[in-house]
Amino acid sequence: MFEKRTWIRLPRNVVVGHGVLGQTIEAVSELHLTGRPLVVSSPTPHEVAGERVVAQFEDAGYDPSEIVIEEASFDAVQRVIDHASEIDAGFLLGVGGGKAIDITKMAADDLDLGFVSVPTAASHDGIVSGRGSVPEGDTRHSVAAEPPLAVIADTEVLAEAPWRLTTAGCADIISNYTAVRDWQLAHRLKNVHYSEYAGALSQMTAEMLVESADSIKRGLEESSWIVVKALVSSGVAMSIADSSRPASGAEHLFSHQLDRLVPNGALHGHQVGVGSIMTEYLHSGQKGKWKDARDALAAIGAPTTADELGIDDETVIEALTTAHQIRDRYTVLGDGMSEEAAIEAATVTGVI
Ligand SMILES: NC(=O)C1=CN([C@@H]2O[C@H](COP(=O)(O)OP(=O)(O)OC[C@H]3O[C@@H](n4cnc5c(N)ncnc54)[C@H](O)[C@@H]3O)[C@@H](O)[C@H]2O)C=CC1
Ligand SMILES: O=C(CO)COP(=O)(O)O
Ligand SMILES: [Zn+2]
């Protein structure tokens, strides 16, 4: 008997463009979501877009409520769950960067409520994914979460966000190259399930972004359009895989470890970008493609060195040698790098 089964959960409405934040009610009512909307955001996104979303619901006769969270943590998820239960929320909207969106999709999953993703920055590829990424103690959890029923990505809002957020989104996409290489390696060495479709989509997304590098420029709204489409595509790859594997390999483990060592350090996308220069070197050696990764990042103005991340050399080495401990995910780091090997990789690639 044929036993294979797959269940791919994707958004129904992906609304991208100039001023589409003003179409929130339309996008939501088309989904037949009922009850009180709960808008979840973090402090700046609350000012940039959250207030406007709440005002639209008020004008349309809904009875919205809002909660502002400060960080991505299980405590924050619980606060949202408690607030949603208190007000008897009917559905949730996550308005903000990766952290606010992750918290909302995890709370929505627990509450069994619909969730709408409203990114205010093109800084990460969790906009569409059905995964949540949260640190806890010495580890980093990638947990199944509620994928959005709709995405409302207003390119006017995204283009007005600080430029570094957009370059971080580009770097999160460029890191897909090494993430897929790690995934294939884990498939060959550890028989980890590999999805050809998800792997190919993730790689193609990175290729298309790199080919568009000339059009990704500060002050051009078109750039936000290009980047957010890539972020959506990368999230779809994660949804197809039902795992963050297509977009998260050793370069992400390195970044997660940096988050532990230097809380509030550099942006997620910038860290994974620098990580991918070094993990590409580990995959393909000195004459390999690590220079392509570095040049692609440099072309869009993302950091390529520890200095540009604002992180000292010792911390980079500590993160590299301990990254494999973060999570049970086999990558090119294997069972860990020696300090000498880490210094060699970081030095040859010019990261330190
Ligand atoms: N679940 C998933 O599949 C994925 C999750 N992530 C997670 O997302 C997080 C990284 O996302 P980020 O967006 O970099 O972090 P973030 O949510 O902390 O946002 C970065 C900063 O940008 C600010 N910001 C957002 N929109 C703004 C705007 N329009 N104007 C001015 N400032 C604005 C925020 O207030 C924050 O200070 C990490 O926790 C990472 O693990 C990243 C990729 C995929
Ligand atoms: O950041 C991600 C993909 O870009 C998600 O990855 P994690 O599963 O490592 O949190
Ligand atoms: Zn990422």
- What CATH number is given to the structural domain containing 132? 3.40.50.1970
Spatial CA neighbour of 171 closest among 105, 287, 252, 264: 252
pLDDT in tens, the chain (352 residues): 898 888 999 999 999 999 999 999 999 999 999 999 999 999 999 999 999 999 999 999 999 999 999 999 999 999 999 999 999 999 999 999 999 999 999 999 999 999 999 999 999 999 999 999 999 988 888 898 999 999 999 999 999 999 999 999 999 999 999 999 999 999 999 999 999 999 999 999 999 999 999 999 999 999 999 999 999 999 999 999 999 999 999 999 999 999 999 999 999 999 999 999 999 999 999 998 999 999 999 999 999 999 999 999 999 999 999 999 999 999 999 999 999 999 999 999 999 9
Is residue 125 domain-shared with residue 238, that is, in the same domain? no
What is the CB neighbour count within 10 angstroms for residue 291?
Answer: 15
Asked if residue 279 has its Cβ within 6 Å of ligand 2, the reply is: no
pLDDT of residue 140: 87
Spatial CA neighbour of 90 closest among 104, 111, 60: 111
Three-class SS state of 78 = helix
Give how many domains the chain has, as a whole number.
2
Of the residues 160, 190, 221, which one is the last residue of a structural domain?
160
> Is 5 within the bounds of a domain?
no
Q: Which residues pair with 91 in a beta bridge?
A: 37, 114
Q: Classify burial at 12, counting beta carbons within 10 Å of its beta carbon; exposed 0-12, middle 13-18, buried 19 or more.
A: exposed
Q: How far is the CA of 231 from the centre of ligand 1 (A)?
A: 13
> Is 300 within the bounds of a domain?
yes
Of the residues 101, 125, 160, which one is the last residue of a structural domain?
160
In b/e form, how buried is each residue of 203-231, taking b as 16+ CB within 10 angstroms?
Answer: bebbeebbebbeebeeeeeebbbbbbbbb
Asked if residue 45 has its Cβ within 6 Å of ligand 1, the reply is: yes
Q: Does 168 belong to an annotated binding site?
A: no
pLDDT of residue 342: 98
Q: How far is the CA of 270 from the centre of ligand 3 (A)?
A: 9
C-beta separation of 110 from 81 below 8 A: yes
Q: How far is the CA of 3 from the centre of ligand 3 (A)?
A: 32
Asked if residue 244 has its Cβ within 6 Å of ligand 2, the reply is: yes
Is residue 188 domain-shared with residue 116, that is, in the same domain? no
Q: How far is the CA of 133 from the centre of ligand 2 (A)?
A: 6
Spatial CA neighbour of 174 closest among 209, 143, 150: 209
Ligand nearest to the CA of 252: 2
> Which residue CA neighbors atom 4 of ligand 2 most closely?
247
Spatial CA neighbour of 158 closest among 72, 228, 75: 228
Three-class SS state of 208 = helix
Q: How far is the CA of 337 from the centre of ligand 1 (A)?
A: 29
Structure tokens at 73: 């943590």
How far, in Å, CA of 19 to CA of 22, rounded? 6
> Which residue CA neighbors atom 10 of ligand 2 most closely?
133
Ligand nearest to the CA of 42: 1
Asked if residue 40 has its Cβ within 6 Å of ligand 1, the reply is: no
Nearest-atom number in ligand 2 for the CA of 172 is 4
C-beta separation of 124 from 158 below 8 A: no
Q: Does 89 belong to an annotated binding site?
A: no
pLDDT of residue 142: 87
How far, in Å, CA of 292 to CA of 111, rounded? 44
Mutate to test the pocket of ligand 2, among 123, 128, 131, 245 (most ligand atoms within 8 A of CB): 131
> Is 4 within the bounds of a domain?
no
Domain that holds residue 186: 163-348
Is residue 125 domain-shared with residue 152, that is, in the same domain? yes
Of the residues 160, 177, 199, which one is the last residue of a structural domain?
160
C-beta separation of 306 from 346 below 8 A: yes
| Whole-model pTM over 0.90 | yes
Is residue 336 domain-shared with residue 212, that is, in the same domain? yes
Spatial CA neighbour of 326 closest among 224, 221, 250: 250
Cα torsion through 150, 156, 158, 164, rounded to 10? 170
Phi, psi (rounded to 5 degrees) for 25: -60, -45
Is residue 183 domain-shared with residue 259, that is, in the same domain? yes
Is residue 17 domain-shared with residue 131, that is, in the same domain? yes
Asked if residue 172 has its Cβ within 6 Å of ligand 2, the reply is: yes
How far, in Å, CA of 212 to CA of 129, rounded? 23
Is residue 274 domain-shared with residue 145, that is, in the same domain? no
> ipTM score here?
0.99
Asked if residue 331 has its Cβ within 6 Å of ligand 2, the reply is: no
How far, in Å, CA of 180 to CA of 289, rounded? 14
C-beta separation of 323 from 339 below 8 A: no
pLDDT of residue 335: 97
Asked if residue 102 has its Cβ within 6 Å of ligand 2, the reply is: no
